A and B are shown apart, each in its own frame.
Chain A
Amino acid sequence: MDRPIAYDKLAREDRFVRMRAREVAELRVEQGLPAFPDLTTTESLRERVHGILVGELQAMEGAGRTVYDFPDTPWEFTMDMARQVWDESRHVEIYLGLLEHLDGTVGDFPETTILWRCACAEDAAARVAGVNRGLEGLACDVFTQLIHVAATLGDPVIERAVDFVLADEITHVRMGSRWLNELTRGDPERRQRAIDFQQSIDERFNLGGVRHGGGREEVGISIARDARRLAGFTDEEIDRLVQSTQRSPVY
């Protein structure tokens, strides 16, 4: 088995349709739809849940590759990544159940491979910064909003299930913070490259320009300050993220 594998080796059943995120967003906008599903209809909720499902799948695959690709990292790092594989496999099953709950099926919407591409970074420190802190941080924002929408709709199934997933994501961000520090100890240049990679992800993956600071009722996706603080983000990091979303182009 190669270490690492090329990103186009990601294996899928035929029923998945894979497309670039930018193209999907353009085709949506062309039809007068928001670039990113806005949760105002059942179809958009279904599409969001499907998008999260494939994200969880890629997170499981990415964590698995990290276990395989870096045999020389500390054993505890391998243990954390192996644990994450298991967590993500449960998340996949949870979102498969939620998709069914919403009368959807696997393959109903295109899969984009944003997360997987980040998970193919060649440096372990960049992977944990980009995936665990950047994208799992983003998941904290998205899931917090989904829980809020489910509570508003009176759907306890989604509300409870996603809350458990959110708890895991906070743990994964903490793992990312720990290993970003430990893997780059004594190597400030490597640390900076990893942080730059994470920040590029924060800036690029702005969910169609809907993620902002502000209350849940005011913006499409509110940056989840409380969840992020619990996960170990500093107020300075959260403020910088709020600023970066304000200048991001529509993805």
Chain B
Amino acid sequence: MTSELRGAPYSVEVSARRIRHYRYVEERMTRTMAGWIALTPELPAKLVLGRHVWDCAQHADAWGKRLPELRSPAQRSEPANDGVVRFMALVEAPDGPDQTAERLVSVYRVLKPHVLAVYERHLASANRVYEPPTIRILERCIADERRHVVAATDVLDRLIATDTARARVDNRERDLMHALEEAGGIAGDGDARRLSMEHPTGAASEMKIDDGRFEPSRLDERLRETIEAVGRAAAAGDASVLEEFVVADARETLVAAYAGANAAAIVACARIGEYRIVKLRLTGRSGGPMLQLQCRPVPDGWRVADARWVGEAPAL
């Protein structure tokens, strides 16, 4: 029994400080992921973040509740050093709608695999006689973090299907690892290793993946033909076709929209009774602006009753 009491690397005070460092990271990760949900367009990515926010909050809470048992005030967060603060700020930074891959890489390829490595190392060295309360929290956190990384891998793989996207996130990963190494890891003890889970296997993803694209087959064929004819007429300035298919108030917007556009792809079609709201993404124009057309059935087909920009109209 005496031998079992030996071999714990951390004193009560050091354990408490370390747990405050863990709590800082878990709390900040909770808030960051929660804040990103609204800024993330892709539904699977939104849902993966939504599912995991609560787990991370519970990790922070569990660490916070453990603190008074170690002679430290409850629910206190404390970064290990300024480098950790900078690292977490870097994790949080990508908040644009086109930076979902960067967000997921930050959390699921860098932060969580590193947190996992730190927790695993702590678990391996924790004393089995007098640290079971800490061990239980570590075991729970490790199981959750592993599940999170697996769940996000499928979602992330879809987002980085091209070489350009992969290069972008690789750069991001390098920058983050550099910042993490400078901080000496989240515990500030010089260990910035990550658990290797780049291609996790053996665990089924919890996410049902949906590619997020509009199904063109759901669009009425006649409506599609009308929109294409209107697009060609707007690009060519064919007033007679526009008069036939588009109400007067919408013609100017359409002509301006198609000027300089290479193509227009139908990306959405919503129903309001018999009316259809068709959304087009115009390529070849800066920012890929979108146009929304309100289409109404008429005896011989469809007529465009309104055309407007989605968001702000681009500078013409």
Contacts and interface: CB of A to CB of B under 8 A. Distances in A.
Contact of A64 (B53, B215, B277, B294): B53
B34 A105 contact: no
Nearest to B278: A17
B277 A67 contact: no
B38 interface: yes
A60 B279 CA distance: 25
Interface stretch (B132-140, B181-189, B195-203, B267-275): B267-275
A79 B57 contact: yes
Contacts, number: 150
B214 A11 contact: no
B30 A9 contact: no
A5 B36 CA distance: 11
B54 interface: yes
Given A5-B39, A11-B40, A108-B270, A82 B30 contact: yes
A27 B39 contact: no
Interface string A1-27: 110010011111111111100001001
Nearest to A86: B54
A31 B275 contact: yes
Contact of A109 (B42, B95, B267, B270): B270
A80 to B, nearest CB: 10
Interface string B27-44: 000111111111111110
Nearest to B312: A8
Interface in A38-77: 47, 57, 60-69, 71, 75
Q: Give the interface residue-count category, chain A.
A: 35 or more
Best-surrounded residue of A10, A78, A96, A108 (most CB of chain B within 10 A): A78
B34 A68 contact: yes
Given A14-B279, A65-B34, A82-B54, A1 B95 contact: yes
- Which of the four size classes fits the interface of chain B? 35 or more
Interface in A190-204: none
A27 B267 CA distance: 22
B37 A109 contact: no
Interface stretch (A87-95, A141-149, A212-220, A237-245): A87-95
A85 B37 contact: yes
B109 interface: no
A177 to B, nearest CB: 21
Given A17-B270, A93-B47, A1 B53 contact: no
A67 B270 contact: no
B296 to A, nearest CB: 9
A13 B53 contact: no
Contact of A15 (B92, B212, B271): B212
B272 A88 contact: no
A62 B272 CA distance: 26
Contact of B214 (A5, A68, A107): A107
B310 A89 contact: no
Interface string B271-294: 111110101010000000010101
Sorted nearest first, the 4 A-B pairs with minimum C-beta distance are A68-B35, A89-B50, A86-B54, A82-B57
Interface of B: 30-43, 46-47, 49-51, 53-58, 61, 64, 75, 92, 95, 97, 208, 210, 212-215, 218, 267-275, 277, 279, 281, 290, 292, 294, 310-311
Interface of A: 1-2, 5, 8-19, 24, 27-28, 31, 33, 47, 57, 60-69, 71, 75, 78-79, 81-83, 85-86, 88-89, 92-93, 96, 105-110, 116
